[in-house]
Structure 1
Amino acid sequence: MLSTVADYVAHRESGGKRPSWGKLNSTASTPRGSTPATQPSVSVDAQVAQNQEEFEMRDTTDANPPPPADDTELRLPNWGSLVTMVGTNALLQFAFFVTVSSASLYAEYLGGSPVFSGLTIGIPAVFSGLALIPLTRYDQGRYTRPLQISYIAIIVGYILHAMAYKAKFLYLILIGRIVAGLGFTGFMYMKRYCSDPRIIGIRRRTTLASWLVLTQAFGFSVGPFIGGLLYKVGFSNDIFNGYTSTGWVTSVVTVVVAIAALYFFQDVPDARRIENSVEVGTEATMASEVLEERLAISQLTGAQWGVIASMCWSSMSCFFILGAWESNIPIFTARTLNYTPYAAGNFIALGGIATLPFLLVSIRYSPRFQDRITLATGSTIGVTGLVLMLILLATDRVVFGSFYVCWFLVALGFNLASTCTLSLLSKQLPNAWNARTSMAIQYSNYSGRVTGAVLGGAGVQMGMKNYIAVQLAVVGIGALLHATFWKQLKAKTG
């Protein structure tokens, strides 16, 4: 009997069907209507051997059960398309931050002021936000056209950015960043793709959001590092030098990614074709589910509006604080630690790189926890960094080591918190609202990036203690929203 039990346990763990114990017991009992006088006696050992033989035969039959039907909650697109979208997000993050290290000196060389350099850093988010609404009417609910627009805009924008040196025209830097801003509309489409109910199951969205945040950390760490490195190397050439090389390198990398996307990316099915199609395949079934749900939407409840407000504020605050620190570090370290743009870029990069192992761990384990827990944990880590920085400023003990710890905690905490804003919101609202929720989160990101960059640039002038206090106030409002709608923020894991 020990071997039978072991076989049964192994069979249960392998996913086989559970045997009918009632059936086994019935074969061991004496049939009704028979008596010991008329029915031959059967030994207990013989019955046990017979039962074990029947069970092993049944176990062999079910050893290779038919594969289960696809679980829609664990749905994923093909790997080529998924890698294309995650890789494109890494490219866009890199392109956004690669000019940070040398922006002020590039503008100064052409006659611009530090305020103008800050404008060139923040202006892409403004024009990206302005372009989103008309682009969403043009995309037909798909992703190929937005990807093509992103690639073309990044290539053209950074070529213009690089040509400003040769043309001796300051405003060509700004024009190039504006054109590149049209390409940064891809940020919204990356988020929308990773929560699209037609291709992504509800238990996969937090995992994919974590991958996007990992590429986000890659962008704001590797981008400034490469920008500072190219500036330091210099290259004494009117076309390719320390100021222009970031633009040329970004354009070439974008061309490579665009060619790869041309071969590997498969778009979602056209909704109009599916609505008019007679055939009902897997793709048509997935899309029809969303279409049917769209017809059933009436209106959102007060609790759902509370969740929307909470997630949008969280998304804004994460990028507000990250953007403030990224724009403030070069200015603050130049006055406090005598850092050059190259050293400041390395400092930003070191903080971002240090977060990557922890973000990789979060990809593995965060799907096991609810999004609201991840959000609270990340916010707590980030606030710890802010409070520690405030203490250092109050005691006038800002040195490399202590300042680096603060930056690491801020970068890790608010990057981690930003992983679950869209995924949680997409789980709380109907599937047909995915495009709207993606837009809401992306506009929150843009507003945080722009206002954070402004705050970071003015941090030294307004006083660093006041600069940190504003950030703590923003996080405090978010904490109040989370506490108010904590029960409503509960959602499926994964």
Structure 2
Amino acid sequence: MTPSTENGNQMDRTFGTSRRRSRIEHRPTEFLNELRPEIESIREENDMNTYSKHKNEYFLSTNEWDNSGAPSLTDVTSHVSTHSKNDNANMIPPKRSIALILVNSIMSDMSFGVALPTSPSYTQKLGGTDAFSGLVVGIPTLISLLMLYPMLLFATPKSAKGYTLYYRPMLVSVFAHSVGHLLYCMADQANWLYLILIGRMFNGIGFTMFLYHKKYTTDKLLVGQNRRTFLATLNILAQTLGFMAGPFLGGILAKGTRNLENRVFNQYTGGSWFMMYIWILFGVFLVIFYKEVYPKDDHTVLEKPVDVDENSGPLSLRHIYLLSFLGLAAFVSYFNISGYQTSIPIYANKLYNYNAYQSGNFISLAALVISPFVFFSTFLSRWLEDRHIMLIGFIIGIIALVLHLVLDTLHKIPVQAYFVLYSIMMYGFSIGSAPLVSLASKQMQPKYHVLSSVLFQVGLSLSNTVGAICGGAIYSITTVGFIGLCIGLSVVSFIQFLTLWNSMKLKLN
């Protein structure tokens, strides 16, 4: 074969190959359409391999491998489930809403305590007695008890489907306290004793928020289990600060205006005028900044509200016994605190010749002293169970009461000892009562959480009213009789608490 022939054949083969390649390249649409399913399949397989590789590297870094070297499905599920449960256990509502709830708690207690230093002298000026003065202090919580059911209907409408709308009672509290303080201030101008009582009754409508302070900080739908006792104790701290600021404010304004002859703004009404303006200002902040949480907000609600009519089982005898203890413990704790606070202006005036300003400072300084201890007590829930916190609190309170009874019987009760014992008693029963609603939320079925909160509020309202009346009449029932009554009620509650000790360790339902 000649070179020219070979070159020709080679050129023919090259030319033929080029023509075939050219035909393929020049009709790509039909060809690629046929291969596209295979290309997509290869691409998806490659993506899955890449994802699987990264996932395996993650489990390798977290040491969650089984014996075969592959991640265990059980371990993965357990890890995710545990992580989710921990997140739920530590969940809290929006912080600005918590702040407004706690500020409302402070201001409510300020409104309750601002009249303590001046109430005896104010009622006496208008023709009232010490017992009537105690009624003026205690009547608001009785009204709050009567208004409790209407407020529950207002705050939990059918449209909320079991969820509580806390914004509604907060607005009511702003309006009621503003009107109540205004009427209280106008009693001297009107020269009508009962206008003081009517004004305080309006304050009582605002005091229905005492229920919602505790309910919000322990709401099973909003607050994780690990945070309920912490937030409930923060509410106790807010109450303590309110107890401190209210009487101090009433006392210092009484001192600053005692020479005024104005019948509208004077030593008896200065504190209430101040509180009225503060409530109006708080209402503005409430409208602007408060954020309500609804069940549809998946990131801020732990679970769906429970239908109160659902068939989740009746109350057992143990549940009923627990609820009775809840109400009794709340009653005893706040009976002692409210009774002592109301009796201080009368008791200290007789023993130490204290005026309204000094009595207000006495009450306020005691609250200021225990405030740091109450604050540090908020962290006890990290290491102690609710029952242990309650045990410590009740023992401290009872010891302080017994020591006061001994010193009062011996007529050797200097003002320093009285101040220390009162402070210790208030601290003990404050932290002892703090976990009550939180404990009930952990042990009772969700269906009965509202019931437990209501029973707590009933005990609190009755104790503030009865305690204030007894404290105002401390010399009518004798000092020994008053302190002995506080001790007797505390011991009965403490014995019932001990009978429930083992049951409180685990859930009852």
- For the aligned pair, the TM-score class normalised by the smaller chain equals 0.7 to 0.9
Question: Is 2:100 the counterpart of 1:84?
Answer: yes
Map 1:375-414 onto structure 2 (within 5 A).
Answer: 375-414=390-429
Correspondence for 2:207 among 181, 184, 193 = 184
Q: Which residue of structure 1 aligns with residue 150 of structure 2? A: 134
Contact 1:97 1:223 survives alignment (8 Å)? yes
Return closer, same or farther for 1:289/1:96 CA change in 2, 3 Å cut-off. Answer: closer
Correspondence for 1:153 among 155, 169, 176 = 176
What is the total number of aligned residue pairs between the two structures? 428
Contact 1:99 1:224 survives alignment (8 Å)? yes
Q: Which residue of structure 2 aligns with residue 204 of structure 1? A: 227
- C-alpha distance in structure 1 between counterparts of 2:302 and 2:411, whole Å: 59
Contact 1:389 1:403 survives alignment (8 Å)? yes
Runs of 4+ in 1 over 3 A off after TM superposition: 19-24, 67-70, 283-287
Contact 2:335 2:467 survives alignment (8 Å)? yes
- C-alpha distance in structure 2 between counterparts of 1:94 and 1:129, whole Å: 19
- 1:459 aligned counterpart, secondary structure: coil
- C-alpha distance in structure 2 between counterparts of 1:382 and 1:155, whole Å: 35
Question: Is 2:33 the counterpart of 1:18?
Answer: no
Contact 2:120 2:130 survives alignment (8 Å)? yes
Correspondence for 2:115 among 82, 99, 105 = 99
**1:439 CA drift (Å):** 0.9
**1:357 CA drift (Å):** 0.7
**1:268 CA drift (Å):** 2.7
Per-residue CA distance 1:245-266 (angstroms, 9 max, x = gap): 1111011111121111112211
- 1:438 aligned counterpart, secondary structure: helix
Map 1:271-282 onto structure 2 (within 5 A).
Answer: 282=298
Correspondence for 1:216 among 239, 242, 257 = 239
Q: Which residue of structure 1 aligns with residue 89 of structure 2? A: 73
What root-mean-square deviation, in Å, do the aligned CA atoms of Structure 1 and Structure 2 show?
A: 2.3
Question: Is 2:258 the counterpart of 1:242?
Answer: no
Contact 2:131 2:473 survives alignment (8 Å)? no
Question: Is 2:253 the counterpart of 1:230?
Answer: yes
- C-alpha distance in structure 2 between counterparts of 1:19 and 1:123, whole Å: 63
- C-alpha distance in structure 1 between counterparts of 2:199 and 2:249, whole Å: 19
**1:215 CA drift (Å):** 1.0
Return closer, same or farther for 1:425/1:69 CA change in 2, 3 Å cut-off. Answer: closer
Counterpart code for 2:397: G
Q: Which runs of 5 or more structure 1 residues have no equivalent in the other structure?
A: 1-15, 27-64, 275-280
- How much identity, in percent, do the aligned residues show? 29
Correspondence for 1:484 among 499, 502, 508 = 499
**1:122 CA drift (Å):** 0.9
Q: Which residue of structure 2 aligns with residue 417 of structure 1? A: 432
TM-score (norm 1): 0.82
Correspondence for 2:321 among 294, 303, 306 = 306
Question: Is 2:264 the counterpart of 1:264?
Answer: no
Q: Which runs of 5 or more structure 2 residues have no equivalent in the other structure?
A: 1-60, 71-79, 158-163
Please tell me whether Structure 1 or Structure 2 has the larger radius of gyration of its CA atoms: 2
TM-score (norm 2): 0.80
Return closer, same or farther for 1:354/1:180 CA change in 2, 3 Å cut-off. Answer: same
- C-alpha distance in structure 2 between counterparts of 1:324 and 1:104, whole Å: 14
Map 1:334-483 onto structure 2 (within 5 A).
Answer: 334-483=349-498
Q: Which residue of structure 1 aligns with residue 8 of structure 2? A: none
- 2:116 aligned counterpart, secondary structure: coil
Return closer, same or farther for 1:284/1:214 CA change in 2, 3 Å cut-off. Answer: closer
Counterpart code for 2:198: I
Counterpart code for 2:117: S
Q: Which residue of structure 2 aligns with residue 45 of structure 1? A: none
